[in-house]
Amino acid sequence: MAHFDFFRGIFDGVFWVALTLTEAKSDRLLVLDSLIAAGVPKIHFWRDKQQREVDFVVPRGRDAVDAIECKWKPEAFETRGVGVFREHYPRGRNYVLCPLSGPAYERTQDGLKFAFVSPGELRQAMTGMGR
């Protein structure tokens, strides 16, 4: 157990992104599968030359793009990557996918509005958009 505790703080976020991708392929959670089923033709990843990134980018309509970040600890979320992304692509919604124990909530951080959601709530938000 001591070895796990040593790596815990270092790799929590990496494990959450990997778990999200793994679970998305399973029949139980269907995160990315639900996006595809909702009519989302493309799901992208975004990174600039300074290595700022957004985990998932979902084009929506002609001029809107949704940004989805996967975070193990929502309280540790930083807007650096999404902030730069929004300078280039200002229209769209921002989601933070995290293992919530309660209901989804919204928070404005650094002038950007974010919806903090569980995988199931993300699926509902994306499928209920009427694309």
| Residue 4 is assigned to a structural domain of this protein | no
Crossing angle, helix 2-25 and helix 119-127, to 10 degrees? 20
| Residue 101 is assigned to a structural domain of this protein | yes
pTM (whole model) above 0.85: no
Q: What is the CA radius of gyration of the chain?
A: 15
Domain of 79 in residue numbering reads as 13-127
| Residue 3 is assigned to a structural domain of this protein | no
| Residue 41 is assigned to a structural domain of this protein | yes
| Residue 112 is assigned to a structural domain of this protein | yes
pLDDT, position 32: 62
| Residue 5 is assigned to a structural domain of this protein | no
CATH number, residue 37: 3.40.1350
Kindly state the percentage of the chain with pLDDT values over 90: 33
Work out the pLDDT band at 30, boundaries 50, 70, 90.
Answer: very low
| Residue 8 is assigned to a structural domain of this protein | no
| Residue 1 is assigned to a structural domain of this protein | no
